[in-house]
Amino acid sequence: MTLRFERDIESVSSILAVVADWEQRFFDPGCGSSPVWYRGHADKTWELQPAVLRKWFTKRAKKRESIASNKVLAVERIVNDEFRRNSASLFPLGARLTDLYFAAQHHGMPTRLLDWTANPLVALFFACCEHPRVDGCVYVVNPNDIIQISDVRKNHPRGVINVLHPLVSKVITFLFKEGKPVDSPPVIPISPNLTTGRLLQQNARFTLHPPVDSKHPSEIKKKTYRIPHAKKEKIMLDLRRIGVHWATLFPALDYIAKEVRTSWNLYPPTLTRKCRKVR
């Protein structure tokens, strides 16, 4: 598949120009918050799909011996239930399945949730924080316009909904093998309650990609902007100067330590300055 880019983003000021263009089309300053969402990929070739729908997950799921016609759904239901059982001591008795599912996403489980942010600088950070020899990209969407109006089913909302909306609960309940399948839009944009540090610091948003038939693929309407790999290091330095870095986006001790090490370049020579793992 050939990727099409609107333009290159080579600096922090470049992405602010993109923001201005989008907000001019969809936003009247002084009338609420901007409706535009962003997502950054450090490698421009990565799939714009939640983990459960990515090729590696579907390939492994289809190798399993199962009588289920939808092996991907069968496997994800198994792992969802395993997460629920093994994490039971860490949640209050009677915790909602929605809370469990979002926690699973937060801690690295493959789910049907795809992370977005309302802060373009956060997306730019994730597009530049690793893979220094590969071009990154930033995706930009108007969440009220990510699906075709013709794809919206009767009695379902067309715009962004809150995480407490009954539709979110119905879809997630079905993914835990409880409840009936929901005749839902291919993609559901969700504005979560910003209850935890990471959600708040990253100004998080989500799209939920329910199981759908082949007639309704979960394709997102978006624009894509390339981040040249040669510009990543300078962009990361400028983001640090304005307070966008590991410690501010991930308020946890591991990432505070990671930011201190990064800012002082306290890594072995075998690790690059632009792509480091917590050690």
How open is the CA angle 175-126-224, to the nearest 5 degrees? 85
Instruction: Give pLDDT, residue 148.
Output: 52
Q: Evaluate if residue 217 carries a pLDDT over 60.
A: no
Reported as a single tens digit per residue, the pLDDT across 185-201 is 678 999 998 887 889 99
Q: What was the pLDDT predicted at 105?
A: 95
pLDDT value of position 273: 45
> Given pLDDT bands bounded at 50, 70 and 90, which one contains residue 221?
confident
Report pLDDT for 270: 65
Q: Give me the sheet containing 136-141, strands edge to edge.
A: 161-162, 188-191, 204-208, 113-117, 37-41, 136-141, 223-227
Q: What pLDDT, on a 0 to 100 scale, did the predictor assign at position 155? A: 60
Q: How far apart are CA 51 and CA 256, in angstroms?
A: 27
The whole model's pTM is what?
0.90
Going by C-beta distance under 8 Å and a sequence separation of 6 or more, which residues neighbour residue 213?
A: none
Q: What is the mean pLDDT of residues 218-235?
A: 92
Where do the structural domains in the chain lie, given as residue ranges? 12-244, 253-279
pLDDT the model gives residue 179: 84
Q: What is the mean pLDDT of residues 143-164?
A: 72
Q: Are 122 and 244 in contact (CB under 8 A)?
A: yes
Residue given tokens 């978006």 in the structure block: 222
The pLDDT of residue 259 is above 60: yes
Q: How far apart are CA 200 and CA 193, in angstroms?
A: 9
pLDDT higher than threshold 50 for residue 262: yes
For a pLDDT cut of 90, what percent of the chain falls above it? 66
Average pLDDT, the chain: 87
Confidence (pLDDT) at 203 = 95
Q: Both tokens of residue 153?
A: 């089913």
* Alpha-carbon span 136 to 18, nearest angstrom: 16
* pLDDT tens per residue across span 240-253: 999 999 999 998 99
Mean pLDDT confidence for 150-176: 82
Reported as a single tens digit per residue, the pLDDT across 26-47 is 877 777 778 899 999 999 999 9
Give yes or no for residue 97 having a pLDDT over 50: yes
For residues 100-105, give the mean pLDDT.
Answer: 95
Can you give the C-alpha Rg of the chain in angstroms? 19
pLDDT (tens digit per residue) in 52-88: 999 999 988 888 756 556 788 999 999 999 999 999 9
